[in-house]
Structure 1
Amino acid sequence: MAFAASLAKLQAEASCPICLDHLRDPVTTECGHNFCHSCIHQRWEDLRGTFPCPVCLHHCPDRSLKRNTQLCRMTEIVHQIPTMRGKRKRQEEPLCKKHNEVLTLFCEKDLELLCAQCMVSSDHQDQPLIPIEEAAASHRRMLKSHIEAKTNHLEVVETLYKNQVQNTWEVKRKMGKWREELDNECKEIKCFLAIERNEIDNDLLIEEKDVEEKLIENGRQISYHMFRLSNLLSEIEEKCLQTDLDLLTGIESIHNRYENLETPAIFSCDLKKGSYNLPPNYLGLHKMIRKFLVDLTLDPETAHPNVITSSDRRSVKYGTPSGFPNPQDLTSYPAVLSSEGIDAGRHFWAVKITGTGECFLGVCKESFPRNTHISPSARNGCWQYSLWIPTSGPSSIGQPKIGIFLDYELGEVSFYNLNDCSYLYGITDTFTEKLMPYFSIASSSASLKIRIIRGK
């Protein structure tokens, strides 16, 4: 009995771990395991770069293998010893549960191992049945293709996971930076922004918590997906190293999990800083003037005959026409345009109004209709704000200095009383062509004068 056990061990040592038969032309890998020359080369046929040992998965650097001459002679000797190997092998082979016969066929439709008796049964007639060796070779190639695809997929998901982790810290960094900017603004206008600052900070905290929770949850989903991918890859790699019968046993489960494995959706945390901007007058009118103030001059070529511009082209008043009208003038209403046009960015200019009466300030598009009696309005490309300076009695404006702020991209024109830094009026529209600063004096306002100034 002991002899038989020792003989069985000797025969096992002289067997190839891949084909389970006696070693033929044995070669030895770098990790010390022995295989048939043809078996190991067939196993590595489609691999590139590194070559895993089928036994211990040690990565061999190349296909260079040493021929084991001594083992070859020993195998020949073992092969000549009469044994019960064939009988033992048959006893260990799994049998068909229905017919108790050796499994020799594989059904490609049902992905099921069958015996010869199953082939003639009604359940598998007219179904594609192929020998186990052929089926195993086909599915082994398919599994190898899965390994490469899922390895690449795992690398992509790992990158996505790292990016999401980085985004979590980026959110914290951006939030911290914006809080610092917010604090700096609050120091300039502390009296006006105390309440607003607290509200905005609460909004930031809420959004930060919301985004962070979503990123963490998304990270958990990606991490779990990575775990499932890794497990599936390990199972596929292990499956590829198994015998034909073991490989095909339960192969349907692997195929189903491979096909149904879906990558979780990636949560995008695009933060919009603009949504936290306070109204411009709250951010400090002085700062806005310093940053966006432009120096304008009037264009006499666009002046209405009843509009008189000064020699320095900085002031305009209503007066009696002299000479011939300009071919480009705005004859419909007593107005004049700036020499400078605006087609992008943010710009601020200011005027001082003296006298009494009514005037109009704003912008109009460069193609604003001329030599017509169309009333200036946003419909025909003129965005203006009307100011009335009373002849007597109290006035909330008095002799005002008016600031005009244009944000071309946002489509906003805002008007400010520079005497008390208060917000007067705002216009919102969409601008598609060059805009010209617009100055107009009502015909009944002979004493009124508008002068462009360099600041408050």
Structure 2
Amino acid sequence: MATVLEKLQEFQREITCSICRSYFFQPVTICCGHSFCRSCLSQIWRLGTTAFSCPECRQVSPGKELPGVNGILAQLTDMGKELCSLHLQSTEGQRKCAKHQKAFKLFCEDDQTPLCVRCSQSPEHVAHKLSPVEEAAHEHRKKLQHLWSHLEKHFHEAEELLDQGERPTVDWAWMISGEYNKLHYFLKKAECQCLERIMEDQRASQERLSQHRQALQDLMLVLQEADHQPNVNLLQEVKQLLGRTESVLSQRAKIVFPELKEYPIPGMIEMLRRFRVDITMDPTAASPCVTISEDLKSVKAAEGWQVNTKHPEHSAVHAVLAEQAFSSGRQYWEVDVTQLPQWILGIHTPYLRRKRKRNVDSCDSLFLLSCVKKEEDYLLQAYPGSLNHRMKCPVPRVGVYLEYSSGTLVFYNVLQSSLIYAFHSIAFTEPVTPFFSPGPPLPGTKAGPMTLFPVDSHL
């Protein structure tokens, strides 16, 4: 026959929530007959993405609304808690000291543990503050009730915040979307203005070319007519004809090598810097005519780099490769060329497949941007490529962007946030290595360094 303690324990199980393992608080009973604390069930109920199932038997409930508080079960829970408390206070229900088999009569406030009389007389508890069990339980029950009230307040606050989350007072998604739309509008407007400027520059360039061609044609006719004049007449006009010819021909360089215009792209450099990589130069992959700094971040022309003074454009190119090679993803690095009037930057890949009619061959490939000092201007050329433009002022800081999957290589004027040149649809099949050449140096000048900017550097 079951004892009073066993029956009491069974009754405790009936008034205990299977989710929080505590006595029911505002119990609710769902359609399958199982009961839970309303707050415990509410949390699980909100997490369900489909139809709700009982935490115990997994039976699916037809509705999504929480049932009302089961008043009878709430009263039974209060009665059960009171019975358990009375039972614990009785001699039969009180737990005993495992060491002395005596009932707990005192409570140690320092160690927060119940004691029997003999335990309280031990040396370890003599100096501690002791209280009768009834008095200590009463005080701690008051503390727990206060904490319960505090938790209930926070629980309701959390419920309100959760409801607000479902119906937010501030629609952040809408506001942020509006900001991006505004940004798209500004960028689109800037793009349209830039394209209009490019069209105007192209028309002006065509007009200059047309005028130059007309000037050449007119001069050719004048020279042809002069050739048929008597000697004296020819000699009287020759000074003027030579001056006119020199003037027309002096315009050739500006027509053949048009000026590279700067078209700033707002925010481009800032965006590319998300892909910055830390690059170092490989001393084992360097020409003997260049010297590399100890930190492997700079390279400059050595004294052994001889330049052909008669034909500088035919001078040998000496370079160094990076220690890093890339075969996927996006990479971006910046190079300081402030102290170099002439330089070459780009990439090297061991093999590149090219289709030539029916055959497919492999060869070493370089994709480069070079700067050459030509009289008072700086000539920017791409290899291979169609860039052959001049600039009045040098580019002090060059940004290089590589996107392996699409075969894209782009060069930027960092300080102007403008495009210099772009290679597209390169058929990479092997890793790509950055390429650096600090020259050829100008005869009679002191060689300056080509330096990689640190990843965390700013303008």
Band the TM-score falls in, shorter-chain normalisation? 0.3 to 0.5
TM-score, normalised by the number of residues in structure 2:
0.34
TM-score, normalised by the number of residues in structure 1:
0.35
